[in-house]
Amino acid sequence: SAPVLTASNLKRHYEVKGGFMQPAATLRALDGASFTLTPGKTLAVVGESGSGKSTLARVVTMIEPPTEGELVIGGKKIGPEGASRDRDLRAMVQIVFQDPYGSLNPRQTIGQTLMEPLLLNRPEIDRKERDRRARDMLSMVGLRPEHFDRYPHMFSGGQRQRVAVARALMLEPKILVLDEPVSALDLSIQSQVLNLLMDIQERMDLAYLFISHDLSVVRHIADEVMVIYLGEPVEMGPKDVIFDAPRHPYTKALMSATPMADPSDRKERIKLEGELPSPMAKPEGCPFNPRCWRRQEICLSVEPELQGGNPAGGGHCFACHNPVPEDETAAA
Ligand code: ATP
Ligand code: MG
C-alpha cells in the first residue's frame, strides 16, 4: 500500500556552544535520512549508541523540526519551519519510549493516563465515551478491567509498557515510533510485549518505526531494516537481506558480532577498529572510513551515495565505494 510517511534527506544539527579550550561546533546528530513508512509494516532502525536513533524518533514525532530536509505525513509537509498546530496531523504519529518507570505520571491512575490524550485533543468527546474508549484500550493491550483505577507503582515494567502503548493508541495514530520499547524489560517479558505490538500492528494497520540496538529483537519484529552510522543511513533493505547478505562493511561487522540461532552457521567475526567518532567531528569522505577494513584511497575524500536501489522505495541500498562482494556475503 501507499506510504503513510515519507522522509527526504532529514537532518537535525545542533549548534553546540564552546567551552574551555573547546570551540563552538555543529553536532550532526541526524545527517540525511530518506525512507518511507507503510501501513502494517515495520522499519527497524539499528545503530550504535549516539548514532542518532532517538534524534530521528523526535523528528519523526514532530517533537523537533528537521534542520534540513522534510517529512510528508498524510500529505502534509513538515520542514525546518516545524509542524503546524494541526491536531489531526500531530495525532497521526505517537511515540513509546524505553523507560517504563519514568514515562507514566505516578499521581494519575491508569484510567486517567489513558483518558488524558482524549481530554486534551478531542474535547468534543464526552466523559462517558472517553471512559469507554480507555477501558476498551486497556483490554486491547492485555490488561484487566480492575487495572483501570490503579496507580503505576502497582505495575511491573512490562505492564507499564502496555499502558504506554495503550496511551499512544488513544488518538488512533497511523504511525507508532517505538524507541527501544523493550530494552529495559526482562528477556521473558520482552517477547510478550513484542508479540503484543505485532498483534496490534496487524489489527490497526499501523506503520512502525522501531528503534533498537538489539539485533535479535530486530530480527523478530522488522520487515525492513535501516542501519545508521553517525546519523546517516549506510544500508537499508528487507530484513533477510540485511541480516544474511549485507553489503556495507559496517553492517557486515555488526551482523558478525551477534550469535545466530544456528550454531553451525560458521561466521568469522569482524572486529571494528577504534571508537565511534564524535558527530561534532565527522571524518571526511565516508564517515565509516577510519574503522573500515575495506577502506580504499577514495573513501578518505569522497562520501559514497546510497546506491543499488531507491532509498525511499523499499529496495536494498548501501553507501559504499568498496562493498562486500555478493558471493562473500552469501557464503559467510
Ligand atoms: P542511544 O542508543 O544511546 O540511545 P541514539 O542513537 O539514540 O543513542 P541520540 O540520542 O539520537 O543517539 O544522539 C545522537 C547525538 O546527538 C549524540 O551525540 C547526542 O549527544 C547528540 N544530541 C542529542 N540531542 C541533543 C541536543 N538536544 N543538543 C545537542 N546534542 C544532542
Ligand atoms: Mg536513543
* Domain ranges within the chain, ordered by starting residue: 5-16+25-92+173-245
Which protein residue's CA is at the shortest distance from atom 21 of ligand 1? Answer: 29
Closest CA to 321 of 304, 300, 308: 304
Per-residue exposure over 3-38, b if at least 16 CB sit within 10 Å of its own CB, e if not? bbbbbbebbbbeeeeeeeeeeeeebbbbbbbbbbbb
Residue 267 has pLDDT above 70, yes or no: no
Give mean pLDDT, residues 287-302: 96
Q: How long is the chain?
A: 332
CA distances from 6 to 33, 76, 77, 90, 308 (A): 10, 10, 9, 15, 19
Counting beta carbons within 10 angstroms of the beta carbon of residue 114, is it exposed (0 to 12), middle (13 to 18) or buried (19 or more)? buried
Write out the three cell numbers for 276: 565511534
Does ligand 1 come within 6 angstroms of the Cβ of 189? no
Residue 314 has pLDDT above 80, yes or no: no
Counting beta carbons within 10 angstroms of the beta carbon of residue 104, is it exposed (0 to 12), middle (13 to 18) or buried (19 or more)? buried
Closest CA to 198 of 216, 212, 178, 172: 178
93 CA to centre of ligand 1 in angstroms:
21
> Where is average pLDDT lowest: 238-247, 251-260, 289-298?
251-260
Report the pLDDT value the prediction gives residue 332, as an integer from 0 to 100. Answer: 47
pLDDT band at 266 (very low <50, low <70, confident <90, very high): low
Residue 265 has pLDDT above 70, yes or no: no
312 CA to centre of ligand 1 in angstroms:
24
- pTM surpassing 0.80? yes
ipTM: 0.99
Q: Which of ligand 1's atoms lies nearest the C-alpha of 16?
A: 29
Backbone angles phi, psi at 280, to 5 degrees: -90, -15
Does ligand 1 come within 6 angstroms of the Cβ of 230? no
130 CA to centre of ligand 2 in angstroms:
33
Which protein residue's CA is at the shortest distance from atom 26 of ligand 1? Answer: 14
Report the pLDDT value the prediction gives residue 330, as an integer from 0 to 100. Answer: 56
CATH number among 3.40.140.10, 3.40.50.920, 3.40.50.300, 3.40.50.1370, domain 5-16+25-92+173-245: 3.40.50.300
Which protein residue's CA is at the shortest distance from atom 28 of ligand 1? Answer: 14
Cβ < 5 A residues, ion ligand 2: 53-54
Name the residue of 15, 27, 95, 209 whose CB sits within 8 Å of the most ligand 1 atoms, as the mutation to test its pocket: 27
Q: Which of ligand 1's atoms lies nearest the C-alpha of 64?
A: 27
Q: What is the pLDDT of residues 19-49, one digit of tens each?
A: 888 889 999 999 999 999 999 999 999 999 9
Give mean pLDDT, residues 247-261: 84
Strand ranges in the chain using DSSP code E only, listed in sequence order: 5-16, 25-37, 42-46, 68-73, 76-78, 93-96, 175-179, 207-211, 224-229, 232-238, 317-318
Q: Which of ligand 1's atoms lies nearest the C-alpha of 278?
A: 18
Which protein residue's CA is at the shortest distance from atom 27 of ligand 1? Answer: 14
Q: What is the DSSP string of 139-190?
A: HHTT--GGGGG--GGGS-HHHHHHHHHHHHHTT--SEEEEESTTTTS-HHHH
30 CA to centre of ligand 1 in angstroms:
9
Does ligand 1 come within 6 angstroms of the Cβ of 51? yes
Backbone angles phi, psi at 50, to 5 degrees: 90, 5
Write out the three cell numbers for 269: 567475526
Q: In what order do the strands lie in the sheet with 5-16?
A: 25-37, 5-16, 68-73, 76-78
Which protein residue's CA is at the shortest distance from atom 20 of ligand 1? Answer: 50
Does ligand 1 come within 6 angstroms of the Cβ of 49? yes
Alpha-carbon span 238 to 222, nearest angstrom = 8
Does ligand 1 come within 6 angstroms of the Cβ of 29? yes
